[in-house]
Structure 1
Amino acid sequence: MILGRHQQTTARPSLIVTGPAAAGKPTALLNVGRTCHLAHTRKNPPPPGSAHPAVPVAYVLVPPGATAKTLITEFARYLGIPVATRMTQTQITDAVCHTYTAAGVQLVLIDEIHRLNPRTTTGAQTADLIKDLTERLPATFVYAGINVTDTPLFNGVRGAQLAGRATLITCGPLPARHGRRQPFRDVITDIENALDLEHHKRGTLPRHASYLHQRTAGRIGSLTRLIRQAAITAISDGTERITKATLEAIRLDHLAETHHRPTRNR
């Protein structure tokens, strides 16, 4: 962000977070946005009685079959910019650039970037729009998508431009151990500390770290879903605690279930 803050002549450097499904890419993206927002708020508290506080972070999803106009409309919707049916793409883009600059947006998070296909006419126009926004907005762009290196995103002239400006960060399943650290267990501890179950004993879930890693293959999406469903079950049945039996009774997403209980060919 510091590198691109005063860069005016070309598109600023950006990041692309990629990896397989359920690896925690949106979680990582939103955590980056939250950290940036809180840091900006601490450093620049809004003045008393301010009706228009700064908005340092924007988060936009690439819609399915995105065109340049539908994508820029998503940008407008995020900050509540009115968009009339008769407005052209250029008019919406001008309104977005003016409002985002006035609001002080410093970080733009674009999720589901793998939906973009620059090989098609609409996809190429959408890619051009994003490039235009990176040059007109004084903000750093961070993208997230599933296995983007296996998609057409980096192909052709437009893909080469993006690849030449973006640093790729691979977000894969969390390992059970990394040197002396146990990152997966640490995440489980953080999730457990956020639970508000009356009879749940702290330390129960970290003790089952090996089981949970095997059950979810280290995927953050599967892990958070499993614990959330277990917490809802504990509230619904009145036990107010999560046990291994509770976890085992829950059916997870097909990806996790296939890994945990592989189908045997007969």
Structure 2
Amino acid sequence: MTTWQGWHRFATTDPPAPPQPGDPPRSTEERLAYHSSFVTIRTPAISQLATQVRTLMILGRHQQATARPSLIVTGPAAAGKTTALLHVGRACHLAHTRKNPTPPGSAHGAAPVAYVLVPPGATAKTLITEFARYLGIPTTTRMTQTQITDAVCHTYTQAGIQLILIDEIHRLNPRTTTGAQAADLLKDLTERLPATFVYAGINVTDTPLFTGTRGAQLAGRATLIDCGPLPARHGRREPFRDVITDIENNLDLHQHKTGTLPRHAPYLHQRTAGRIGSLTRLIRQAAITAIHDGTERITKTALDTIRLDHLAETHHRPTRTR
């Protein structure tokens, strides 16, 4: 998805659809593929990000003198940051193309969204080269950073890029010379491009990105969206249980009894530390196992047999009853 062709294919391909009443039963292979890709569960972070992006894009639409306000999606690993980023980016892409269909006879429509990964050990030149690669802007080793930046700013403006998603932002370290130059490049781009920037990274507030003069500038322009673990309870609400219910309602298992998984919410919260990525992986793996072994349902015993990511497993300390 770090090229326009890949992003366009992702954004315009219908996402996986849950089974609907009256639909013919799917084959085993179809159901395995469905649980492998699965639907995107709309978490509170996704809802908040969607609202903020829509508002800030309108707020910055006619802003000319200074950089437009931006957003930073932060949280621990496996908290659903990239999922939220991609979900909102796809929604923006589809909304724009519905309002602005490709003219008849034109081979290419507008490109409203860009998705860029910060490369490991990013320098200003390697970072701007990633921006160029997304739209297929030709570059050579002889080109200077300034030349590539000028080409990117011109082409992105001509293409109609309105939303720029920058993932893995925690890889930038402004305390190093190269990291500081890369951070300055991003600041320059926010002032030269008529687009809203949304960054995502692991625990961004704990990294050097928010320290020093550059960090103060970023903090003064960016709204923070916390994509952290969901609490078991928030006031009278139980957001984690609500997400479990949504996941269960989208399963495609022949013998699974509705309401089973929400009853195990305390266990699932302990097992995953409230991380959405770990939760969805656990339930999807259990669903795939249930299809393979023919049980067609998920039980707590079945969940106990699933090995999760190391982060979740080191957090989980189950107590054995005798």
TM-score (norm 2): 0.74
| Inter-partner Cα distance in structure 1 for 2:216 and 2:175 | 12
Aligned residue in 1 for 2:267: 211
| 1:32 and 2:88 correspond | yes
- CA separation of 1:71 and 1:47: change in aligned 2, threshold 3 A: same
| Inter-partner Cα distance in structure 2 for 1:32 and 1:18 | 15
Aligned residue in 2 for 1:137: 193
Range 149-158 or range 46-55, more displaced: 46-55
RMSD: 2.2
The structural deviation recorded for 1:171 is 2.1
Of residues 201, 209, 214, the one that matches 1:153 is: 209
| Inter-partner Cα distance in structure 2 for 1:202 and 1:56 | 40
Of residues 174, 179, 183, the one that matches 2:235 is: 179
- CA separation of 1:48 and 1:206: change in aligned 2, threshold 3 A: farther
The structural deviation recorded for 1:127 is 0.7
Aligned residue in 1 for 2:147: 91
| Inter-partner Cα distance in structure 1 for 2:298 and 2:135 | 39
| Inter-partner Cα distance in structure 1 for 2:242 and 2:80 | 15
- CA separation of 1:46 and 1:146: change in aligned 2, threshold 3 A: same
| 1:8 and 2:33 correspond | no
The structural deviation recorded for 1:136 is 1.1
Of residues 161, 171, 177, the one that matches 1:105 is: 161
| 1:220 and 2:237 correspond | no
| Inter-partner Cα distance in structure 1 for 2:241 and 2:266 | 8
| 1:189 and 2:245 correspond | yes
**Structure 2 stretches lacking a partner, 5+ long:** 1-56
The structural deviation recorded for 1:219 is 0.6
Alignment identity in percent?
A: 89
- CA separation of 1:41 and 1:63: change in aligned 2, threshold 3 A: same
Range 59-68 or range 28-37, more displaced: 28-37
| Inter-partner Cα distance in structure 1 for 2:142 and 2:250 | 47
| 1:75 and 2:136 correspond | no
The structural deviation recorded for 1:48 is 4.2
- Residue 235 of structure 2 aligns with an amino acid whose one-letter code is G
| 1:259 and 2:306 correspond | no
| Inter-partner Cα distance in structure 2 for 1:226 and 1:187 | 13
The structural deviation recorded for 1:121 is 0.8
1:228-256 CA distances to partner (integer Å, 9 max, x unpaired)?
22233234434444332221111112221
- Residue 151 of structure 1 aligns with an amino acid whose one-letter code is T
The structural deviation recorded for 1:222 is 0.9
**Structure 1 stretches lacking a partner, 5+ long:** none
Aligned residue in 2 for 1:242: 298
Q: State the secondary structure of the residue aligned to 2:78.
A: coil
Range 86-95 or range 135-144, more displaced: 86-95
- CA separation of 1:235 and 1:77: change in aligned 2, threshold 3 A: farther
Q: State the secondary structure of the residue aligned to 1:143.
A: strand
Q: State the secondary structure of the residue aligned to 1:5.
A: coil
- CA separation of 1:205 and 1:11: change in aligned 2, threshold 3 A: same
- CA separation of 1:207 and 1:2: change in aligned 2, threshold 3 A: same
| Inter-partner Cα distance in structure 2 for 1:16 and 1:248 | 35
Of residues 264, 268, 289, the one that matches 1:233 is: 289
- Residue 142 of structure 1 aligns with an amino acid whose one-letter code is V
- Residue 187 of structure 1 aligns with an amino acid whose one-letter code is V
1:103-158 CA distances to partner (integer Å, 9 max, x unpaired)?
22111111111111111110111011101110111101111122222211122222
- CA separation of 1:222 and 1:83: change in aligned 2, threshold 3 A: same
| Inter-partner Cα distance in structure 2 for 1:198 and 1:43 | 40
- CA separation of 1:262 and 1:80: change in aligned 2, threshold 3 A: farther
The structural deviation recorded for 1:182 is 2.6
Aligned residue in 2 for 1:58: 114
